[in-house]
Chain A
Amino acid sequence: MVPVTYYLVLSAILFAIGAVGVLIRRNVIVIFMSIELMLNAVNLLFVAFARQWHAMDGQVIVFFVMTVAAAEAAVGLAIIISMFRGRETTNVDELNLLRW
């Protein structure tokens, strides 16, 4: 059996990639995908620990997270599309209407 540490390291790497992506990328779609990556890094962690401790709670939570992520993707993409229609851009630096 693969030790749980491996999963932890893989999850941390995926999460870090997602976090850095959110922080440094300017394309809103890429940011969006990075968020999904962070979510899935956490999912991986849940599943790994669920198997480690033979508890189903973690797997159930993963289903919840996937449901929420699906809903979020639908809403988020809708927002992005409507923003693109209005502004002809997906660059977050130009989407600064709410800035003080």
Chain B
Amino acid sequence: MHDTVTANHLWLIPALPLLGVVINATLGQRLGRGLVAIVAPGVVGIAFAVSLFTFASLLSLPSGTALTDTAFPWIHAGALQLDVGFRVDPLSAVMILVVTGVGFLIHVYSIGYMSHEPDVARYFTYLNLFTFAMLVLVLADSLPLLFVGWEGVGLCSYLLIGFWYDKEENANAGKKAFIVNRVGDAGFLLGTFLLFWNLGAGTHTFAFTELQAHVKDIPLGVVTAAALLLFVGATGKSAQLPLYVWLPDAMAGPTPVSALIHAATMVTAGVYMIARLNFLYVLTPTALTVVAWIGALTALFAATIGLAQNDIKKVLAYSTISQLGYMFLGVGVGAFSAGVFHLMTHAFFKALLFLGAGSVIHGMSGEQDMQKMGGLRKRMPITFGTFFIANLAIAGIPGFAGFFSKDEILLRAFTSENGSPALWVLGAIGAGLTAFYMYRLLFLTFYGECRADAEVAHHIHESPGAMTGPLVILAVLSIVGGWIGLPSHWLWGNRFEQFLAPVFGHQDAEHVSAALEYGLMATSVGIAVVGIAVAYFCYIVQPGMPMLIAWRAKGLYDLLFNKYYVDELYDAIVVQPIRRLSDKLWRSVDAGVIDGAVNGAAEAVSMAGGVWRRWQTGNVQHYALSFFVGAVVLIGYLAWR
């Protein structure tokens, strides 16, 4: 199970993007736009090549073998013997391929998208730094090193959301993301400490393999608490209820950043973490149930908000939150490989959707409001075609990537021990809503008459090759990406699950009757088709319908349009009380006590100086007098003591 082979090249995978960071940060301004645009995607491309090589060597080894590379000792203190070590098992292999592969495409796309941006060196520095941190996260062989990557991607997310920091709105969005994530990270750290305390006496490397070996010695209550605390971290990073609020605002960043960080890779870190710690979570059905329900509720909740948004990126943001909910639903019902499978297919089609939206925004001179789009089908044919494929994939139309992964999750949600029909119903309704809002987006953007201003409409153009190239590749992946995980008795079966089996253990597949499986499949596809049909009816056949519905169900529409007023609620119950408390503390404790003590000390010294200063007359004869008096006193003392 835990055979390992040393592979001394693993450190190269994160080191290459780090090299890009160093080059772009120090020489970026001097190299000029052209060289930066070669270096930044180049290092990620080489990292992708190394990842492919690693993947190939992993495949050539017997199943269950992992590649390891201990880079250097990190913290050796007391009972802690922590090394910086990288480990590639099937799960990490999938992740590094997704991160470097999709990351490379998005780097290339960025060259085109950021072609009007003056500060392109800073942009690519951050983007490479993100890739580095994300690779550390997925390659880490210990929980603390994973946390380093976890924080690193959070930092890059903050930097890139606020990339155009001269607008206060963007800077605030960055801060919001950072602060909300701090809440989650506090849970993550507490979970880590809890595990460490309960590892028992002796020295510990804190590696995942060691954790796996010792986890059975830890009391179940502690395991549950640690699992739930770590999941709090995941809800922050992966934007789940109740900490999802930062992700929609994160759309303030450049669109390729939304695609890479806030759709394809970083936000899936929480799913990855739970999949990585699957040995911990399977011990505690309580925590798994919480994960599954939070996931399912988020999937439905975010999908309903997505129905009423008009900003093209906001719709995609809520869609991402919703899809992440499906991944948590998958891992929560114990279908870890299905969750990771959806993570991968989602990375393909959601990156494609974001990049397509970016292409639209680029062509529309920065317009993001779908109400001012329309009719782009003929003006931007490649963008439209690839976007259409991504839509089919996310809606779960059979044959496309999203179908296989989502269907697997929904099936397991229904049949698995931890699952229940209620979870399936939530997921299925969410799938219908997903189909509806995605086709609403598609119809509003690409069909009908162009509603843009004449000036903007005149400038609409298809994006350059650097942008459409990645779109086409991702579109291909959005189709074929799902074929490696077919339902178990189709053709070659679920190769993906077999590949990941060494990590997740051989799960006894429930014997599901074919009738049930096909019945569930047909139902969820049917719901999706209904969603599409409703969208078609509302936005193509009867374009007046949405207005009418919004008017008739005004209360509901306002509720959705204003995102259930969650931001306002958090503002009222969390942000404002803390602000008021901070304000009070600032005025009383900070200004009164702390400043008082510091300034008081300075005043006291100053006053003492004012008094003692009078002795320093500057008159030498006064000094001489003091000297004589002193001498006389001293001699008198010595003579008569």
Contacts and interface: CB of A to CB of B under 8 A. Distances in A.
B628 A100 contact: no
A92 interface: yes
Nearest to B621: A23
Contact of B618 (A22, A24, A99): A99
* Chain B residues touching A, range: under 10
A52 interface: no
A85 B160 CA distance: 74
A17 interface: no
Contact of B621 (A22, A98, A99, A100): A22
B628 to A, nearest CB: 6
Most chain B beta-carbon contacts within 10 A, residue among A23, A24, A92, A93: A23
Q: Chain A interface secondary structure, helix, strand, loop or mixed?
A: helix
A8 interface: no
Nearest to B617: A99
B214 to A, nearest CB: 72
B619 A22 contact: no
Contacts of A98: 618
A22 B625 CA distance: 9
Contacts of B621: 22-24, 92
Contact of B624 (A23, A93, A99, A100): A23
Interface string B156-174: 0000000000000000000
Contacts of A99: 617-619
Contacts of A22: 621, 624
Contacts of B628: 19, 23
A3 B575 CA distance: 96
A24 B617 CA distance: 16
Contacts of B624: 22-23
A42 B44 CA distance: 90
Interface in B614-628: 616-621, 624-625, 628
Nearest to A95: B620
Contacts of A24: 621
B626 to A, nearest CB: 10
A5 interface: no
Interface string A19-46: 1001110000000000000000000000
Interface residues of A, number: 10
A41 B619 CA distance: 25
Contacts of B618: 96, 98-100
Contacts of A96: 618-619
A23 B619 CA distance: 11
A11 to B, nearest CB: 14
Interface in B589-641: 616-621, 624-625, 628
A98 B618 CA distance: 7
Nearest to B631: A19
A1 B322 CA distance: 120
Contacts of B617: 99
Nearest to A25: B621
A55 B495 CA distance: 113
Contacts of A23: 621, 624-625, 628
B527 to A, nearest CB: 90
Contacts of B625: 23
Nearest to B629: A23
Most chain A beta-carbon contacts within 10 A, residue among B616, B618, B621: B621
B616 A92 contact: no
Interface string A43-76: 0000000000000000000000000000000000
B632 to A, nearest CB: 9
Interface in A84-100: 92-93, 96, 98-100
A50 B618 CA distance: 40
Contacts of A92: 619-621
A49 B624 CA distance: 28
A68 to B, nearest CB: 19
A100 B616 contact: yes
A23 B625 CA distance: 6
A80 to B, nearest CB: 14
A96 B618 CA distance: 8
A98 B628 CA distance: 22
B633 to A, nearest CB: 14
The 5 closest A-B pairs by CB, nearest first: A99-B618, A23-B625, A100-B618, A23-B621, A19-B628
Given A23-B621, A23-B624, A99-B618, 10 more contacts: A19-B628, A22-B621, A22-B624, A23-B625, A23-B628, A93-B619, A96-B618, A96-B619, A98-B618, A100-B618
20 contacts: A19-B628, A22-B621, A22-B624, A23-B621, A23-B624, A23-B625, A23-B628, A24-B621, A92-B619, A92-B620, A92-B621, A93-B619, A96-B618, A96-B619, A98-B618, A99-B617, A99-B618, A99-B619, A100-B616, A100-B618
Interface of A: 19, 22-24, 92-93, 96, 98-100
